[in-house]
Chain A
Amino acid sequence: MTAAEKPSYRVIGTRPIRPDGVEKVTGKALFGADARPAGLVYGKVLRSPHAHARILSIDTRAAEAFPGVLAVATARDLPAASDEVQALGETAVNLKELSDNVLASDRVLYRGHAVAAVAAASVHVAEEAARRIRVEYEPLPVVLDVREAMLDDAPLLNERLLTRSMGKTISDRPSNVASKVQFVGGDVEKAFAEADAVVERHFTTKMVHQGYIEPQTATVQWNPDGEITVWATTQGAFACRGQLAEVLRRPASTIRVIPMEVGGGFGGKTPVYLEPVAAILSRKSGRPVMLTMSRSEVFEATGPTSGTSIHVKLAASGGRLTAAQLDLAYEAGAYPGSSVSAGAMTMLAPYDVENFKIDGYDVVVNKPKTAAYRAPGSPAAAFALEQAVDELARAIGADPLAFREASSSREGTRMVNGMPFPRIGHEECLRAAMESAHYRSPIEGPNRGRGVASGYWFNAGMQSSVTVAVNTDGTVNLVEGSSDLSGTRASLAMQLAESLGIEYSQVRVTVADTDSVGHNDVSGGSRTTFATGLAVHQAALDIQQQMRTRAAKLWGCAEDEVVYEAGSLRCTTDEAKTLTFAGMAAQSARTGGPINGRASLLARGAGGAFGTHIADVEVDPETGKVQVLRYTAVQDVGTAIHPAYVEGQIQGGAAQGIGWALNEEYYYDDDGRLANASFLDYRMPTALDLPAIDTVIVEVPNPGHPYGVRGAGEVPIVPPLAAIANAIADATGHRFSDLPISPRRIVETLHHLE
């Protein structure tokens, strides 16, 4: 968009300091493990050493008798949960399975599965006591790989699991395949037969973890009167409350969840793991109990994203993409519910492909239950598709970006589910990438290469509630309930300031607990700046309306003769009658009492968004080491409310994607033991492993939002896997179709080592 077309904003597009900034950089912000209710004690969870086993018996007597132990919990302390699914933003959970995942009842399904827990005055005493719990296991055969788990003779995780598709059961016997999705359009066979070029390739990716710095921690106080207070590190206090209410079978109204600052989530802080266990320990001990995971517990027992196996066949005709046949199998982990349907739906989103057949399988394996991770399902799908697209472009001798542009989706293009896209910005991203200084610069030198890739994410709407109290000094207090993971206090305050025509500094923001604000869905799906932003805007309109009503009364004119504009009220029939926002605020006591705006909504019109990334790499062919020399991320964000935080999101997503491409993986031994459950061996990139990531913000406003917001946080993790892989293919002449493209894989491949 050119500068002339862009609406002029006062606050939106500036870069003020975030409200939570000072507390965070001075170490005063309170995170989950900073909760200190009076009488706090600590607990430790005992976890399964087996990846798959029946629990024959649990003997807790020695732990109970251990000096200093206050309580011991097992699944027997949990009420039987109902077998129903609760929506959790981008993922959904079955509450029976959630309950079993929190404390295993009869069977452990992955190594690290929680089996029991102990509370004591010291975490070390709790740990020593937990080791004294005797669990008798009957080990069962283990299945770790998604394709092996799909075989007819694979060990079964759940003998009652039947494959479902479109609401119907489609298997006649138990299977690890929990569900199948399918999307079909056009005539694939014909299109392949008539194609100028066809590319077919198989891709795999490994489970990877979000890698947030702050481990899971939960502190729960269960009072004798049945009131439960939770200090949580969560992406959604209400989702946390809802899950806890279900697992504990307690009315949600008896549970208050206090959201603490969150040290990273990326989707992983939506399910509950520790809260129900801490609650049971608190009920039994009469003390508030804190449970905190170690890093290895985080890796072994919280939700990473799926390992995948994806088969791709693409055809080009007339210089554009004409057909796609895709088969995706995603590991769900121990219980059904991978992100395969999102993978299947996003995979072709960047392109207008007439003929397609897409099959997706959700498969259980003996690994931790997967959780959302930034654009869940989409990065692995893009890793596969965008490499095949790259190969196809090479096959027909086209520039990879020009080929993508020729094949691009645009407004009206039907997604694979038949829904037409509203206004979207993929073509704009491609053009911005082609015009970027990076893409126009040559890539020279031995062992160097360049790769590009695009990616898509839906972005979400869902429910938000806010209240805005107008203070008599002309400031406002915004009370919202969206966990601030990325600077959303700032992006919401900015929208409120814009909508009210006041200064950003006049807005004070609080992320409230579940007793103090209406329902808010999780901060996930890149929805907060969009959906809670919509609520903030509506609350501002509510205040404007209340002020107009009061001004009309004050001035003795009709309400429709009062306009609210740029932070002031004026009478259209009498120029002398004007009142600033602050002036009206000061008079609230005399004009009808305090002014409070509020809005509660189910946000519609979320804007899907695209990104296109460019990566330059150098590969040391002798050691297999890859250095990322230069990296540019182009992304349509609709409107960048706070450009610095948008850039931060884009850079962060790219960094995570680069780590996923090069080194990160869940590395299992044959028995299902995660051998690299530490930051040392999991190998996320450090600052020294990444170049400065250049960002190009494209703004194609979302028609579904008053300021055009789309959501920015998830798209940037989608393209990097393929962009890096394409660059490595360019540098080495070899196409790597399995992640991670680690030094090991590169030297083994290039030097034909076994």
Chain B
Amino acid sequence: MEAFEYVAPRTLADAYSLLGNGRRVAALAGGTDLIVQLREARRSCDLVLDLKRIPELRVVTIAADGSLQVGAAAPLADVYEIPEVRRRWPALVDAASIIGGTAVQGRASLGGNLCNASPAADSPPALMVMGARLRIGSAAGTRELPVGEFFAGPGQNTLLPGELLLEVIVPPMPAHSAAFYHRFIPRNEMDIAVASAGAWLQVGSDGTIEGARIAIGAVAPTPLMVPAAAQALHGRKAGAEAFALAAQEAASAARPITDMRGSAAQRRHLVGVLARRALERAHQRATEGR
């Protein structure tokens, strides 16, 4: 590990002022990706910019419009331990509560999970199917974009120099709709997704699918939305037949590789299975209590 400087500013303005200046700056939230990368010399930097002392990056609130606003550096446990979050955004809990273990979740943040931009990260597919948006800031101001547009490649996000991720905004789930996220790992904990799938479904009272989104992970350079799967579902009756069609679309959208975590063929096959099962579970959630 190379020597670096460490600063923990108290305000966003101070944070922005430290970005750039020709120095290689690494933002630090929970550090569960960053510190590992620095220690293993997979990454080096001149300055580690700790964001955890900036109050607005740690808050988790439900806004007046019913959306969930998660500060980019808030630990995952601070998010999923809120009963209202568990009730209204269970798919976020699906993802946040399987990242690492309890100890990791006490530090790791959604912001870090997104910015790290691992193709296998757990929160992106869940956030994508829920229609989450990201608020990004710099000294010049802020901008928003859908989470699905944030990823550029393995380890690569679309932040511009001088920018920080500020907040993840998850909209309220419309009536009769629900999302579900899961992944496949060979063990039962402490593993990285071999493939993953999230699904969101809105189902009319007669069982017709009125809205759908499918996102898949670990099967392409970035997490992928699968619009073809959503189209295959739209207007059909929720059920095995429709879900199988969508699963096929998910499998064909995949562009997997072979590595130590799994083979391309296995991943393509798995992502279909996971998409189908995710739809079944989202459907269950959407229609519970009917």
Contacting B at CB under 8 A, from A606-639, are 622-625
- Of B108-116, B147-155, B266-274, the one contacting chain A is B266-274
Asked if residues A128 and B184 are in contact (CB atoms below 8 Å), the reply is no
Partner of B261, one of A124, A127, A681: A681
B41 cross-chain contacts in A, Cβ below 8 A: 127
B:188-228 near A, CB below 8 Å? 188-192, 194
Mark contacts of B232-263 with chain A using CB atoms, 8 A cut-off: 1 yes-contact digit, 0 otherwise. Answer: 00000000000000000000000000011111
Stretch at the interface among A72-80, A277-285, A683-691: A683-691
Can you list 5 A-B contacts (CB < 8 A)?
A: A124-B3, A625-B186, A681-B192, A744-B262, A744-B263
Q: How far is the CA of A703 from the CA of B3 in the complex (A)?
A: 63
In the docked arrangement, what's the CA distance between A127 and B262, Å? 32
- Given A124-B1, A747-B269, residue A686 in contact with residue B190 (CB < 8 A): yes
A contact face: mostly helix, strand, loop, or mixed: loop
B87: CB under 8 A from chain A? no
* Residues of chain B at the chain A interface (Cβ within 8 Å): 1-3, 40-41, 184, 186-192, 194, 259-263, 265-266, 269-270, 273
Q: Find A623's partner among B184, B190, B261 (CB 8 Å cutoff).
A: B184
With both chains docked as a complex, state the minimum distance between the C-beta of A655 and any C-beta of chain B, in angstroms: 13
Known contacts A675-B260, A742-B186, A748-B265; is-contact A622 B273 (Cβ 8 Å)? yes
Instruction: Report whether A743 and B269 are in contact in the complex, using a CB–CB cutoff of 8 Å.
Output: no
Least Cβ–Cβ distance between A481 and chain B, in angstroms: 37
CB distance B269 to A753 under 8 Å? yes
CB atoms of B187 and A685 under 8 A apart? yes
Residues of chain B lying within 8 A (CB to CB) of residue A753:
263, 265-266, 269
Question: Residues of A within 8 Å of B, CB-based: how many?
Answer: 29
Q: Decide: A623 and B270 in contact? CB cutoff 8 A.
A: yes
Give the 3 A-B residue pairs with the shortest CB-CB distance, closest first: A753-B265, A688-B188, A675-B260
For the complex, is A3 an interface residue (Cβ under 8 Å from B)?
A: no
A688 near B269 with CB under 8 A, answer no
Are B2 and A681 within 8 A (Cβ)? no
Closest B residue to A667 by CB, please name it. B260
State the Cβ distance, B36 to closest chain A Cβ, in Å.
10
Chain B residue nearest in CB terms to A746: B266
* Distance of A624 Cα from B192 Cα, bound (Å): 16
- Minimum C-beta distance from A671 to chain B (A): 14
- Minimum C-beta distance from B220 to chain A (A): 18
Known: A127-B1, A623-B273. A686 touches B265 (CB 8 A): no
Not counting A127-B1, A680-B191, A748-B266, a sample of 15 additional A-B residue pairs whose C-beta atoms are within 8 angstroms of each other reads A623-B270, A662-B186, A663-B187, A680-B190, A681-B260, A683-B186, A683-B187, A686-B187, A688-B187, A743-B186, A743-B194, A747-B266, A747-B270, A753-B269, A754-B265
Q: Mask for A112-129, Cβ within 8 A of B = 1, else 0?
A: 000000000000100110
Residue among B187, B262, B263 having the largest count of chain A Cβ atoms under 10 Å: B187
Q: Determine whether A751 belongs to the interface, using a CB cutoff of 8 Å to chain B.
A: yes
What chain B residues lie within 8 Å of A128 (beta carbons)? 2
Taking CB atoms, residues of chain A closer than 8 Å to B2 are 124, 128
What CA separation (Å) do A676 and B2 show in the bound complex?
Answer: 24
B260 CB, min distance to chain A CBs, angstroms = 4
Q: What CA separation (Å) do A751 and B41 show in the bound complex?
A: 40
**CA separation between A688 and B190, bound complex, in Å?**
10
Q: Whole-angstrom distance from the CB of A112 to the nearest CB of chain B? A: 14
Query: How long is the Cα–Cα vector from A624 to B188 in the complex, in angstroms?
Result: 13
Check A625 against B184 for contact (C-beta < 8 Å). Answer: yes
Residue of A nearest to B267 (CB): A744
Note all chain B residues with C-beta closer than 8 A to A743. Answer: 184, 186, 194, 262, 266
Which residues of chain A (721-754) have a CB below 8 Å from chain B?
742-744, 747-748, 751, 753-754
Please tell me if the beta carbons of A748 and B191 are within 8 angstroms of each other in the complex.
Answer: no
Known contacts A675-B259, A675-B260, A681-B261; decide if A689 and B188 are in contact (CB<8 Å). yes
CB distance from B241 to the nearest CB of A (A): 17
Q: Which residues of the other chain, A, contact B184 by a CB distance below 8 angstroms?
A: 623, 625, 743
Instruction: Give the residues in chain B near A748, CB-CB below 8 Å.
Output: 263, 265-266
Compute how far the CA of A623 lies from the CA of B193 in the bound complex, rounded to whole angstroms. 13
CB A501 to nearest CB in B, in angstroms, measures 49
- Closest chain A CB from B212 CB (angstroms): 22
The digit string for A572-611, where 1 denotes a CB below 8 A from any CB of B, is: 0000000000000000000000000000000000000000
